[in-house]
Amino acid sequence: MQRQFRQLLNFFLVIFVLVTGYLVYWQLFWPTSAAAQGQDQNDYLSHKPCIPSEIPQRGNIFDRNGVLLAWSVPDDKSPCGWQRRYATDKHPSISSFLGYFSGTYGMTGMERYYNDQLAGNVAPATFNDASQQWWNQTLHQPIYGQDLYLSIDVRIQDQVDKVFENDLGTAQKCGGTQAGAIIVSDPQTGQVLAMDSRPYFNGNTIGDTTASTDPNFTKGALYWKKVSTDPCAPLINRAVAGQYAPGSVFKTVTLLGALDSGQFNIHSTFTQDEATSVVVDGFHINADPVNEFRNTPQPPTFPMDLAHAYAYSDNVVFARLGVAMGADNWVNFAKRFAMSTPDDNQAPP
């Protein structure tokens, strides 16, 4: 009898420990970790009210010179009491790469890619850091995300946006505005200094929780409905997600492939006829580098070597290189640069 009593007591003791552990985790740790994830805050809110100390204050985002681009402000109408703000009043095109962070619509761009760092959800690097993190969570200490510094220079970004606005009258248009992308990078390091995509959106308006003329929607909800259904797709960053024909920049790949094949070298020459006209499968390709570059400091002369054909971007010469390489060899060489066609087993027509 006494043995059975001890077994029953041990059973209830185990149940008590398990339930207590579960409740401690639920109360102390789950809400904090859920809030830190950003995308799970709505699940957290559906279970219990937000506790300010358990909601991470998202890190700021700066350009390379310390110019503030994104920050958070208290807002009792936003999920968990914070609203993301962006410096789009001064730098309207920064939404192209920053994206947005919203408790309602999620996140995109830099906000999404670096969400763990901005939300303070990075794994501790040392045991002391882990101990401090556990202690802060236990005591419901405020959580602060890390600040993020980008390679972007907003001075260049603003100039690029002006070029897009004023100097690209021939650019493709959608809904009366230019559609396309411009990237400026440092040729020495590859760092991106500016990234402009048009048309773009306003991240501040997406997060606007004030009332609109429609009693059923906030201003942010109405704006989201507009931009998310816009056929010009302002939410897409065309600089990284747009699909465009590569144009003459692909001549670099063709040139390297031709040199790699051993059929040509940088001093291979082409007569004026060979450099200005060719027929490939009945398709006529013509070039007129003499007139196109007659006002340059060094107008083209013939015979033209491969180095100058590349400098003058001679379509005819590069068509000849591609034909000499053969379609399969040309495609296979492009694959060495991590490029491929929709069907890897076929060359493009």
Closest listed residue to residue 41, CA positions, set 26, 24, 54, 23: 54
The per-residue DSSP string of 19-39 comes to HHHHHHIIIIIHHHHHHHTST
Domain boundary among 244, 276, 301: 244
Q: Which domain holds residue 29?
A: 1-151+198-244
Same domain as 258, residue 237 = no
- pLDDT tens column, 73-103: 988 877 677 889 999 999 999 999 999 998 8
Is the confidence at residue 171, as pLDDT, over 70?
no
Q: How confident is the model at residue 263 (pLDDT cuts 50, 70, 90)?
A: very high
Is residue 203 one of the residues assigned to a domain? yes
pLDDT at 208: 87
CB 38, CB 107: distance < 8 Å: yes
Is the confidence at residue 196, as pLDDT, over 80?
yes
Same domain as 252, residue 236 = no
Q: How much is the pTM?
A: 0.66
Is the confidence at residue 275, as pLDDT, over 50?
yes
The Cα-based distances of 130 to 122, 133, 180, 206 in angstroms read 11, 5, 45, 36
pLDDT at 36: 42
- Beta bridge partner(s), residue 197: 181
pLDDT at 168: 58
Q: What whole-number distance in Å separates Cα of residue 83 and Cα of residue 139?
A: 25
Same domain as 307, residue 256 = yes
Across 158-178, average pLDDT: 77
Is the confidence at residue 201, as pLDDT, over 90?
yes
Same domain as 238, residue 259 = no
Q: What angle do CA 282, 279, 333 make, to 5 degrees?
A: 100
Domain boundary among 185, 220, 244: 244
- What residues contact residue 105 under an 8 Å CB cut-off, 6+ apart? 206, 224
Q: What whole-number distance in Å separates Cα of residue 30 and Cα of residue 14?
A: 22
Q: What whole-number distance in Å separates Cα of residue 205 and Cα of residue 47?
A: 28
The size of the chain, in residues, is 349
| Structural domains counted in the chain | 2
- pLDDT tens column, 304-344: 999 999 999 999 999 999 999 999 999 889 888 887 655 55
Same domain as 239, residue 287 = no
Say how many C-beta atoms besides its own lie within 10 A of residue 88's C-beta. 19
Is the confidence at residue 4, as pLDDT, over 70?
no
CB 111, CB 84: distance < 8 Å: yes
Closest listed residue to residue 77, CA positions, set 260, 183, 212, 218: 218
